[in-house]
Homo-oligomer: A and B are copies of this chain.
Amino acid sequence: MKKQAVVLVSGGLDSATVLSMAQAQGYECHTLSFDYGQKHNAELQAAQRVIDAQKPASHRVMSIHLDAFGGSALTDSSMSVPETESDGIPNTYVPARNTIFLSFALGLAEVVGAHDIFIGVNAVDYSGYPDCRPAFIEAYEALANLATKEGVEGRPFTIHAPLIEMTKGEIIQAGTNLGVDYAATVTCYQANAQGEACGRCDACRLRHQGFLDAGVQDPTRYVEGFEWSNV
């Protein structure tokens, strides 16, 4: 039997790259996406396009209503997404998001017999998010091996975060070499219903700069009238 992995897929550029990396390493991949009340449903449609293109062994979408908690500009309709760079932890931080996502991935890994979990966190561009840092990933792996039947019985889990120290340009270069179709992905924090990006939020700026740095043409679909040459 091929070795099994669980891969978190958001519909963004990073997780599409991670999925292609896991597949290139020979893993049979079980993907997991989340409907967590995010304002930009374009994300889930993008995840489905990534799945259609990269064809993992299984795919599940879990509905978890983090919007019931509030506290983030990504889920709380009373908060707006910032269009300027901010210091410290941005208000687009969703409380405990990656902790929650990894916990579901861990449960699924136990059920499908996987000992490898892949997540596309990145500490370079998202240094303001505590749950994107190497120390968090290490602590999660330690937890996973105490939390589970497999872990305590000596068949440990590995949490793979292959992008964690890569720049956006390096990620795009790596994914392009593996054949990832980035036109399928959506990164924008406030993409519209057609999946078109705003070009103005932090996420759009980081993504576009990544394509420039990688020397790859930016395939992103932006809202009508938007041109980087006018920014």
Q: Is the CB of A149 within 8 A of B69?
A: no
**Given that A95-B111, A96-B103, A107-B99 are contacting pairs, would A136 and B130 also be in contact in the complex, using a CB cutoff of 8 Å?**
no
> Once the chains are docked, how many angstroms separate the CA of A103 from the CA of B131?
12
Q: Which of A86-107 contact B (CB under 8 A)?
A: 89, 93-100, 102-104, 106-107
What is the copy number of this chain in the assembly? 2
* Total count of chain A residues near the partner, CB < 8 A: 43
Q: Is the CB of A71 within 8 A of B147?
A: no
> Once the chains are docked, how many angstroms separate the CA of A102 from the CA of B106?
13
**Given that A96-B106, A97-B107, A152-B130 are contacting pairs, would A68 and B64 also be in contact in the complex, using a CB cutoff of 8 Å?**
no
- What distance in Å separates the Cβ of A145 from its nearest Cβ neighbour in chain B? 8
Q: Is the CB of A136 within 8 A of B146?
A: yes
**Given that A104-B96, A107-B96 are contacting pairs, would A63 and B63 also be in contact in the complex, using a CB cutoff of 8 Å?**
yes
User: Which chain B residues lie closer than 8 Å to A156 at the CB level?
Assistant: none
- What distance in Å separates the Cβ of A50 from its nearest Cβ neighbour in chain B? 20
Instruction: In the A-B complex, list the 5 residue pairs whose CB atoms are closest, starting with the nearest.
Output: A96-B107, A71-B111, A95-B110, A95-B107, A100-B103
